[in-house]
Amino acid sequence: MTRIDAKFAELKAASKKAFVSYIMAGDPDYQRSLEIMKGLPEAGVDIIELGVPFTDPMADGPTIQLAGQRALAGGMTLEKTLQMAREFREDDDTTPIVLMGYYNPIYNRGVERFLTDAKDAGIDGLIVVDLPPEEDDELCIPASEAGLNFIRLATPTTDDKRLPKVLENTSGFVYYVSITGITGAAAAEAADVAPEVARIKAQTDLPVIVGFGIRTPETAQTIASVADGCVVGSAIVGEIAKGAPVSGVLDFVRGLAEGAHRA
């Protein structure tokens, strides 16, 4: 059982929905990024998604693209992202960490070395948005064998024919993308999301977490109420981009978490 599996078991026992937050590693700089990360669990975050900055983030909208550019300009790398996780783990051995990014940095490091290093750093799961199920032998299956959850995205365009393939080797949870398009592009609507979550849950026992288009505590509550929880990324990254102090960012996150936990 991974930390992700344990967290969902704990939430289910408490009849509570999950709140997942995304931050870009190294944004606005290494130290403040680490400080924000360390404060997320106390702010109510159940699972941390840690973005790995990449030069060509095709699934991300402008807010997260700019965060990645700031991080890269500050010298952030995959190695430094893993170092952030190591430093986080010095004080917190229970909050799950999911690395979210693209395959190129992993490929450059070498899959075997990356998986060993990620496991040693305390990473629990991976979301690699540009590796389809047809390439599961490349990373998904080796990651699962190494004890890491490989979390797959389902979208509004994932039809009933495609869905079983998407779910085949997925573990930890299913990330349902609530809108068609890039991150931060539109607002999520519970009325649209609910039947899609039900459709996915009819084919898997995994929790379904909804992301994209959630910016307020109210939306976090309504979306979490029709799923097993929700993810917020662009709205949090946007607060960081505004230059909000660490305490301000964490207060913003706390409001979102409270919204999700009211669901």
Catalogue the active-site residues: 49, 60
Distance from the Cα of residue 195 to its chain's centroid: 22
Angstrom distances, CA of residue 35 to CA of 42, 85, 144, 158: 12, 12, 30, 37
Angstrom distances, CA of residue 165 to CA of 70, 136, 154, 175, 228: 36, 10, 10, 15, 21
Edge to edge, the sheet with strand 47-51 lists: 149-150, 125-128, 97-101, 47-51, 18-24, 229-232, 208-211, 174-177, 153-154
Structure tokens at 147: 């004890």
DSSP state of 184: T
